[in-house]
Amino acid sequence: MPPALKAKPGQTLDGRFLLGEEIGHGGMSTIFKALDLQNPGETVVVKVRLPAFSSGVGAWSMFEREEAIGRQLDHPLILKFLPLAQDKRRSYVVTEHVPGRTLADRLGEQRPLPESEALSIASQICTALDYIHEHGFVHYDLNPANVMLCPDGGIRLIDFGLAHAAETARFTLSGAPPAIGSSDYLAPEQIKRKRGRKSADIYGVGAMLYEMLTGQPPFPGDDPLAVASARLLGDPPAPRSLNPGISRQAEDIVLRALRRHPNERYASAGAMKADLEHPERIALSGLCDRLQPVTRRRRSLRIARYIAATFILPVASQVALFLLLWHHLARK
């Protein structure tokens, strides 16, 4: 099958994976339920790169990185990747098929969730993240669509398309679409395209927990750019102002995970998990009383700084250079 053609149900990849129904899609790939013909009766999930990215190396390397990272992780709360031949005719990854539904589906049925359920889900996510971080990686795309809720009450953390080594100097991806990650759950440093540290994952857990407890993301809105800008300018509303029924301890956990400065968040997923499992032991920090809401004035100041950095300073430097050159020539 030529790589340029879009994958469809009924097609077989490399003589092994028979594609079934389409169960999802993303900005760069389509996801299918499939049968592994080498292991009769075994259902798997195949994520196939879209044809629009077939000519560049960015998406290919992205899939290779996702597979390489996935195969190094072996944990009951993390989706398992299947080993594949190196001579694949097109770019795709294969994982186990996990029955259940996503956290996004659950929130579509009920929001907010009961506090005990929300804290349990967040705690399991932290368990998975702690393992990932200990192995030197960050997930970097935490959102409700990437958390599977299993029938036995457990979770699976899925989709490692943006995962990379925690020591990567700066996250860049040639060939990727301009919008990376889900804007409702991005940490401020991700928006600035700074180094992808583990603290970005802590922020992602905090954003999901905020939504589970309050029924809305920290910075709701239909404009991704406005949502991204808001989290750089101020803090979200206190969770108890939206849902007075949640405990002060749960509110404190959320707000600590959502601090704008990475060093002010939990130092590790394990530390956040400890608070999630024993919220009654938390000494309240009073963060809810020190929040800085996004105001029109703060937004205007940031826009002014952006204009100054983007337009005024470059023009001023060019004028200064011209005057310096003119003065040098005039002296001759």
CATH number for position 225: 1.10.510.10
Please choose, from the candidates 244, 168, 151, 157, the residue with its C-alpha nearest in 3D space to the C-alpha of residue 204: 157
- 7 falls within a domain: no
Region of poorest pLDDT, from 2-11, 52-61, 80-89: 52-61
Q: How many domains does the chain have?
A: 2
> What does the alpha-carbon distance between residue 262 and residue 188 come to, in Å, rounded to a whole number?
9
Task: Indicate whether 18 pLDDT > 90.
Answer: yes
Q: Do 53 and 105 share a domain, yes or no?
A: no
Same domain, 75 and 171: no
Q: Is the pLDDT of residue 54 over 70?
A: no
56 is a domain residue: yes
Q: Closest Cα partner for 255 from 234, 230, 229, 227?
A: 234
Residue 99 has pLDDT above 90, yes or no: yes
- In this prediction, residues 90-107 reach a mean pLDDT of 94
Q: Are residues 144 and 227 in the same domain?
A: yes
* Whether residue 193 has pLDDT greater than 90: no
Residue 330 inside a domain? The answer is no
* The pLDDT of residue 2 is above 60: no
Q: Residue 102: which H helix or E strand, with range?
A: strand 101-102
Same domain? For 168 and 275 the reply is: yes
Q: 36 in helix, strand or coil?
A: strand
Task: Tell me, yes or no, whether 61 and 202 share the same domain.
Answer: no
Residues 105 and 128 in one domain: yes
Q: Measured between alpha carbons, how far is 113 from 111 in angstroms, rounded to an integer?
A: 5
Residues 263 and 124 reside in one and the same domain? yes
Instruction: Verify that 242 and 278 share a domain, yes or no.
Output: yes
**pLDDT, mean over the chain:** 86
Whether 22 is covered by a domain: the verdict is yes
Give the neighbor-by-neighbor strand order of the sheet with 29-36.
12-13, 17-25, 29-36, 43-49, 92-96
Residues 164 and 238 placed together within one structural domain of the fold: yes
Residue 231 has pLDDT above 80, yes or no: yes
**Does residue 310 lie within any of the structural domains?**
no
Mean pLDDT of 159-169: 81
Among 227, 214, 140, residue whose Cα is nearest residue 183: 227
Residue 70, pLDDT score: 94
Q: Is 141 a catalytic residue?
A: yes
Q: What percent of the chain has pLDDT over 70?
A: 80
pLDDT at residue 307, rounded to an integer: 43
pLDDT of residue 105: 97
Write down the pLDDT at residue 56.
56
pTM of this structure = 0.84
* pLDDT confidence of residue 328: 59
Return the SS3 of 29: strand
Catalytic residue among 141, 159, 201, 252: 141
Q: pLDDT, tens digit, for every residue of 243-280?
A: 999 999 999 999 999 999 999 999 999 999 999 999 99
| Domain boundary residue, one of 79, 96, 113 | 96
Does one domain contain both 61 and 116? no
Say yes or no to pLDDT of 218 above 70.
yes
Q: Is residue 91 part of a domain?
A: yes
Q: Same domain for 68 and 202?
A: no
Regarding whether 193 and 223 lie in a shared domain, the answer is: yes
Q: Read off the pLDDT of each residue in 283-295 and give the average, rounded to a whole number.
A: 92
- Flag whether 149 is in a domain: yes
Residue 110's domain comprises 101-289
Asked if residue 179 has pLDDT above 70, the reply is: no
User: Minimal CA–CA distance to 231: which of 240, 213, 239, 219?
Assistant: 219
